[in-house]
Structure 1
Amino acid sequence: MARRPAVLWSAFLAVHAWLAFVGLTHATLPWGDVTLQYRPWVQNALAGDIVGVSHPWVYPLVALVPMLAAMVLGPELYGIGWLLVVVVTNAVVLAFLLARTGPGARLGALKISAAWWWIGFLLLLGPVALGRIDVTTVAISMIALLVAQRRPAVAGALLAIATWIKVWPAVLVAAIVVAIHRRGSAAIAFVASAVALGLGVLAVGSGANSLGFIFEQSSRGLQIEAPVSTVWMWIALVDPASATVQYIPTINTFQVVGAGVAEASALMTPLLVASSASLLVLGALVARSGARAVHLLAPLSLAIVVGLLVFNKVGSPQFVLWIAAPVVLGIATQGRRFVAPAALGAGIAAVTQIVYPFGYDALLALQPWMLVVLTLRNAALVVLFGLAVHMVWRLRRAHGPVRRIHPLPESQVI
């Protein structure tokens, strides 16, 4: 029964309805970014004051497109309009997963398993899984990874669009270029599409503001949920004179302040870049050793994406949603081999929902039990990072035994 498309679609709609209800009605305002930030941006844009054009913005300009689309029901029902955008976006992903585009019953079964995991992951992560612009980039990235081996040019073009919404999907292009054999098609399509979109952004008069998101993000400090901030959160509990939690109204977030924070903040971006670069080098070595793309792309993508979370100085809860793209690819192409990262990713999502939105007031109050929860979540991210790196390394160290796991042949990948 669980494999029937009607059951999947019913669960899909029920989960989206529940998360939207909680996001729009709970006292903590989990969809506050949508109703309190996205809506004013859109209203100002419609009045001629376009973010990313008139002045720098925290996102690339294409992010404004789904925000504008959510105005379909008017400003009073903007939250419902956003729900419609999200449902349509995610419905495309589910329809793609359910489409029998490859031969063999096993492929269909794995894709259905991946779809069930994804729906459960959204439910576990909570309302933030739908109430941020990240939902659009994850949906696009998910399809791009699934088609990368058979249609690398399509994957590259899709990821260019996603990158012009939010920057993180660019690392997936790098993973594809390292892992697959038709890497040139993916790279050329990505660059050509990204340049075309960039020229379009310049054509509307954005000028230097088109890249304002780079400077807006780089100036941020250590957000309290980030893994690196865990140290200062505990210091703030035991020694308030040495570290505190401070609200930053200009970016509507809470950061840690204290001795060593500025130095740590300055180190995080170089560490994030070094992590991604090192993993790409490892992936290239593994690929040259003879590992097949069907084995390599999912764990390599997962390692790089989780690295973005582990070494990120922001650490917003919606970033956990990024994990879904490589895990869905792993389940859909490798099945049981991805049980461990899939289970750990689901657990991370569930704990993240405890942190935000339901335990966020306790976190701001530095209640010890919530600091323990946050610490466990961040430790689990580190464990998942290590697991993904190990999966990549294992392909080189024991390539022969890996073949006996019997993932789908590359000719049968979506």
Structure 2
Amino acid sequence: MSRPATRRAASLGRLLTNGFVAFSLWVLSRALMALLWSNRETFIDHDVRYYFWQLDADGVSGALVEYPTPIAVFLDLIRITAGRTENAYVIAFVLIMVILDGAVTVWLWRSYSKTASAYWAAYTWCIGSLIWFRIDLLPAVAVLASLVWVTRRPIASGAAVAVGAATKLWPAMLIAPMLGTDRWGKRRGLGFLIAGGLLGLGSVLFFGWTRSISPVTWQSDRGLQIESIVATVPMIRHAFISPDLFHTELSQYNAWEIFGPGVDFWLSVADWMLVGSVLLAVALGWLIALGGMGLPHHRLPNANDPDTMAARTHAIVLAQIALICATIVANKTFSPQYMIWLGGPLAILLSLSLPRRDRIQARWLAILGLICAAMTHLVFPLNYSGLISQPTAEHADTVRLVVRNLLVIALCVASVTMALKSAWRIGRDDPQVASSH
């Protein structure tokens, strides 16, 4: 055998060996997730059963009004094809999510980055089997795809953001820093408009205006969910200071909410923080898409310079992480599955080719993300009963919640700071921006 043939055979052997090891580790991690589910977490299938009950009783027009119409249609298709029985629906739903989980891991490994694939698998393992029993894996994968395609297939990248927004509303904000006046930014905007326009128009034409905007009104009317960041102080008072003044109950919005003195104040804080997250999206969009045009020493041509492509991609990924964190922190609801949203952007960030300082920061951010994911799993579903008992029976459960919330705040502050610094450099008259990437 010639030397080139020998080298090719050796490379193929290493590839197959590495691929087999990676696949084996993924299977092992998922087996452990399934084992823990079967022993301690079987009750987390309630949401999937809720999807079925709602759709079976009211159809897409009247069911799941808290979700955008396109995702309700998707969930109803599962119900129809699964045979219209509850248990079959749960099995079909979970099977789809397991396949999607595995497909994303393989796709990243073969077509993008082994580092990103390994991080995605590790991050979702930290969250646990919950990723298979909630729809949040769908917008998470859509956001991940948008970043994988951000420069490779910009039209598809923008369309992926629109698909994410059609499953949960929040990804719509992520398009702001992805826009621009260069051909990549214009194409991402075009993809978002086409996909979003078709999905929105289809929703209005087939299901009406009221059903199409119902997710917005549903969210605005909700109370203070016990796991939310803004509920941290009331939950501390509920557990340690004034347990007789607070109580928790399962509200009409299918969430455990806290009631007591000061709750209205924290709800107003959440509203103002939500405004802040929207302003953050505008600011990041201005700095990245328009190069901070109008600021001293900032010019639009700098942002459009092809030599700054790597720096701009880095800024876009950081912006996505920051906006997702800001959305989570500002929300008066913090369901544990929200943490799934961060897995893709953190995986992409970790796989970028960055200068040493940025690479070190990316690693620390990724590690903090893993810790937050693992702590979220410890809060729900593993140690939730102490948060909803009257009065709080297990103070350790509240301590875990507070620690998790503080870590998420730290992740938010760090990511927003890094995103703004990176975005600030994009349009600035600084030749080192391009050369450093």
TM-score, normalising length: structure 1: 0.85
Moved more, 238-247 or 367-376: 238-247
Cα displacement (A) at 1:282: 4.3
Cα distance in structure 1, aligned partners of 2:199 and 2:153: 20
2:248 partner SS = strand
In structure 2, relative to structure 1, the CA distance for the partners of 1:405 and 1:93 (3 Å cut) is: farther
2:207 partner SS = coil
Cα distance in structure 2, aligned partners of 1:13 and 1:32: 25
Moved more, 360-369 or 111-120: 360-369
Cα displacement (A) at 1:170: 1.0
- Find the partner of 1:235 among 229, 234, 237: 237
Cα displacement (A) at 1:348: 0.3
Cα displacement (A) at 1:180: 7.5
8 Å CA contact 1:57, 1:213 repeated in 2: yes
1:4 partner SS = helix
1:10 partner SS = helix
Question: Gaps spanning 5+ residues in structure 2: where?
Answer: 1-13, 293-297, 303-307
The residue type equivalent to 1:30 in the other structure is I
- Find the partner of 2:329 among 303, 310, 317: 310
- Find the partner of 1:6 among 8, 20, 24: 20
Cα distance in structure 2, aligned partners of 1:339 and 1:179: 31
Kindly provide the CA deviation profile for residues 62-120 of structure 1, in whole angstroms up to 9, marking residues without a partner as x.
112442354444422322211221123233422331234xxxxxxx6xx1111111111
8 Å CA contact 2:230, 2:269 repeated in 1: no
Cα displacement (A) at 1:361: 0.4
8 Å CA contact 1:11, 1:119 repeated in 2: no
Moved more, 372-381 or 175-184: 175-184
8 Å CA contact 1:93, 1:142 repeated in 2: no
The residue type equivalent to 2:109 in the other structure is L
8 Å CA contact 2:55, 2:64 repeated in 1: no
8 Å CA contact 1:19, 1:127 repeated in 2: yes
The 5 A counterparts of 1:317-336 are 317-334=336-353, 336=359
Which residue in 2 is equivalent to 1:244? Answer: 247
Which residue in 2 is equivalent to 1:29? Answer: 43
Matching of residue 363 in structure 1 with residue 400 in structure 2: no
Cα displacement (A) at 1:25: 5.9
Which residue in 2 is equivalent to 1:50? Answer: 59
Cα displacement (A) at 1:56: 6.8
8 Å CA contact 1:121, 1:346 repeated in 2: yes
Kindly provide the CA deviation profile for residues 131-166 of structure 1, in whole angstroms up to 9, marking residues without a partner as x.
111011111111111101232211111221221111
Cα distance in structure 1, aligned partners of 2:277 and 2:134: 26
Cα distance in structure 2, aligned partners of 1:329 and 1:353: 22
2:152 partner SS = coil
Question: Gaps spanning 5+ residues in structure 1: where?
Answer: 101-107, 407-414
Cα displacement (A) at 1:260: 2.2
8 Å CA contact 1:156, 1:187 repeated in 2: yes
Matching of residue 68 in structure 1 with residue 87 in structure 2: no
8 Å CA contact 1:181, 1:293 repeated in 2: no
Cα distance in structure 2, aligned partners of 1:146 and 1:54: 36
Cα displacement (A) at 1:184: 2.0
The 5 A counterparts of 1:246-285 are 246-248=249-251, 250-282=252-284, 284-285=286-287
Kindly provide the CA deviation profile for residues 4-32 of structure 1, in whole angstroms up to 9, marking residues without a partner as x.
22332333344445435544663661222
8 Å CA contact 2:179, 2:285 repeated in 1: no
Cα distance in structure 1, aligned partners of 2:364 and 2:403: 17
The 5 A counterparts of 1:95-106 are 95-100=106-111
Moved more, 16-25 or 222-231: 16-25
In structure 2, relative to structure 1, the CA distance for the partners of 1:197 and 1:321 (3 Å cut) is: same
1:32 partner SS = helix
Matching of residue 352 in structure 1 with residue 367 in structure 2: no
TM-score, normalising length: structure 2: 0.81
Cα distance in structure 2, aligned partners of 1:66 and 1:19: 26
Cα distance in structure 1, aligned partners of 2:205 and 2:116: 40
Which residue in 2 is equivalent to 1:150? Answer: 152
Cα distance in structure 2, aligned partners of 1:73 and 1:10: 30
Cα distance in structure 1, aligned partners of 2:106 and 2:73: 22
8 Å CA contact 1:243, 1:257 repeated in 2: yes
Cα distance in structure 1, aligned partners of 2:169 and 2:194: 16
Kindly report the root-mean-square deviation, in angstroms, between the aligned alpha carbons of the 2 structures. Answer: 2.7
Matching of residue 40 in structure 1 with residue 64 in structure 2: no
Cα distance in structure 2, aligned partners of 1:383 and 1:329: 20
2:223 partner SS = coil
8 Å CA contact 1:247, 1:254 repeated in 2: yes
- Find the partner of 1:208 among 183, 207, 210: 210
Which residue in 1 is equivalent to 2:401? Answer: 374
Count of aligned positions = 390
Which residue in 1 is equivalent to 2:115? Answer: 113
Cα displacement (A) at 1:270: 3.5
In structure 2, relative to structure 1, the CA distance for the partners of 1:252 and 1:50 (3 Å cut) is: same
Matching of residue 342 in structure 1 with residue 351 in structure 2: no
8 Å CA contact 1:276, 1:307 repeated in 2: no
In structure 2, relative to structure 1, the CA distance for the partners of 1:402 and 1:32 (3 Å cut) is: farther
